[in-house]
Amino acid sequence: MSCATQLLRHSRKLRSAQNLLEVESVCSARYFSKDASTFIRRDDMPSLRPSRLLGKKESSFRLIPARTFKVPVNSASNIAHFRQPTGLGFNRASAASVRHFSSSDLPPHQPLGMPSLSPTMTEGNIARWLKKEGDKLSPGEVLCEVETDKATVEMECMEEGYLAKIIHGDGSKEIKVGEIIAIMVEDEADIPKFKDYQASSPAPAETKAPAPSEPAPPKKEESEPVKAPEPKPVKSEDASQKGDRIFASPLARKLAEDNKVPLSSLKGTGLDGRIVKADVEDYLASATKGAPVKDMAPSADLNYADLTVSQIRKITAARLLQSKQTIPHYYLTVDTRVDNLMKLRAELNALQEASGGKRISVNDLVIKAAALALRKVPQCNSSWMNDFIRQYHNVNINVAVQTDHGLFVPVVKDADKKGLSAIAEEVKVLAQKAKENSLKPQDYEGGTFTVSNLGGPFGIKQFCAIVNPPQCAILAVGSAEKRVIPGKGPDQFDFGSFMSVTLSCDHRVIDGAIGAEWLKAFKGYIESPQSMLL
Active-site positions read: 507, 511
CA atoms within 13 A on the CB side of 113: 12
C-alpha distances (whole Å) from 232 to each of 69, 229, 235, 483 are 45, 9, 9, 71
What are the backbone angles phi and psi of residue 136, rounded to the nearest 5°? -80, 140
Burial 470-486 (b: 16+ CB within 10 A, else e): bbbbbbbbbbbeeeeee
CA atoms within 13 A on the CB side of 529: 22
Q: Which contiguous run of DSSP H or E holds residue 253? A: helix 250-258
Q: How far apart are CA 70 and CA 217, in angstroms?
A: 20
3-class DSSP state of 88:
coil
- Nearest-5° angle of CA 69, CA 72, CA 76? 140
Q: How far apart are CA 416 and CA 27, in angstroms?
A: 74
**Percent helix, strand and coil across the chain, each to the nearest 5:** 35, 20, 45
Burial 104-126 (b: 16+ CB within 10 A, else e): eebbebebbbbbebbeebebbbb
| Helices and strands, counts by H and E, the chain | 13, 23
Q: Are 127 and 152 in contact (CB under 8 A)?
A: yes
Residue 259 Cα to chain centre, angstroms: 32
CA atoms within 13 A on the CB side of 305: 3
Output the DSSP codes for 479-521.
Answer: EEEEEEEE-SSTT-EEEEEEEEEEEEEETTT--HHHHHHHHHH
Q: Are 505 and 515 in contact (CB under 8 A)?
A: yes
Residues in the chain: 534
N-terminal to C-terminal alpha carbon distance within the chain:
90
Burial 8-41 (b: 16+ CB within 10 A, else e): eeeeeeeebeebeeebbebbeebbeeeebbebbe
Taking Cα atoms as reference points, which of 372, 426, 437 lies closest to residue 399? 426
Quote the crossing angle between the two packed helices 250-258 and 277-290, to the nearest 10°: 30
- Nearest-5° angle of CA 282, CA 284, CA 285? 65
Q: Are 439 and 408 in contact (CB under 8 A)?
A: yes
